[in-house]
Amino acid sequence: MSGAPVNLRPSASVAIAAAAQLLAGSVFAASGGLVLYNCMCQLALTGATGFGHGSPSLASGSVSLGAVPLFFGLMSLAAGVGVFRSREWGRRFALFVSTVPILCCAILVLLYPRWVFSRPGPYGDQYALLTVGSGIIYGIYVYTLLLLVPISAWWLAIFTRPRVISQFTRRDRGANAQPTLAEHQWFWVFVIIDSFIVLIALLVGFTRRV
């Protein structure tokens, strides 16, 4: 007996979450790619010395507004495709993009590293585009973190439901397979720690003078 046929179509809530992941991934990947391309074009025009000394915002902008959004955008696109196909790896990718980007953003807001958020240079660099001397990149990260909080909570609430886990497990292992719910026991410990870090980062971000 082969059992009941496996339903390959995701539920409505899962499909909506996957569509949101595809949309968010497209926006982040496209914007990050454009910023990175623009920074590389400026680097080609100004030369290596301009990248290191003339405009530190060019280096920090290429990383903070280019490479980082591009990477997580591509991960979100992969997660959306996997979720639409009801693949277990897609659900795990969805958990990744629900937690790791917001955690990284919170840590950067807390630590305020120079390699991401450049300081004003001696040449009036604080008035240039994409510089953190005026607080623009730091402000973008703070408000992006605020935007990601409800989205992350929504995705986590969907993709950690036992019924949803069972749906993805049956798709990959067969209709009679039993889901492994051990992750439900440790995953929310990480979520609680993550939530405290994000809360502290938001408080620091809105109170710090930039």
d(CA 197, CA 156): 17
Pair 109, 142: CB distance under 8 Å: yes
**Residue 167: Cβ-neighbour burial (10 angstroms; 0-12, 13-18, 19+):** buried
Residue % of the chain over a pLDDT of 90: 16
Domain presence at residue 1: no
Residues 151-169 have a mean pLDDT of 85
Question: Is the CA virtual torsion 167, 173, 175, 178 positive or negative?
Answer: negative
**CA pair distance 196, 189, nearest whole angstrom:** 11
Domain membership of residue 76 as a residue range: 12-207
Give me the number of domains the chain comprises: 1
**Has residue 54 got a pLDDT over 80?**
no
Q: Is there a domain that residue 90 lies in?
A: yes
- Would residue 7 count as lying in a domain? no
Place of tokens 């979520």: 191
Sign of the torsion angle spanned by Cα atoms 41, 38, 77, 181: positive
Structure-model confidence comparison of residues 181 and 40, the more confident one: 40
The answer to whether residue 158 sits within a structural domain is: yes
Quick check: is 96 in a domain? yes
Q: Which pLDDT score, from 0 to 100, does residue 132 have?
A: 41
Convert the pLDDT of each residue in 65-82 to its tens digit: 888 899 999 999 999 999
Average pLDDT over residues 162-168: 82
Whether 5 maps to a domain, the answer reads: no
Q: How many CA atoms lie within 13 A of 197 on its CB side?
A: 19
pLDDT for position 1: 41
Is the CB of residue 152 less than 8 Å from the CB of residue 133? Answer: no
**CA 191, CA 210: separation in Å to the nearest integer?**
29
Q: Is residue 6 part of a domain?
A: no
Q: What is the 3-state secondary structure (H, E, C) of 12-36?
A: HHHHHHHHHHHHHHHHHHHHHHHHH
Closest CA to 97 of 124, 65, 74: 74
DSSP state of 117: S
174 inside domain: yes
Closest to 97 in 3D by CA, of 53, 182, 158 = 158
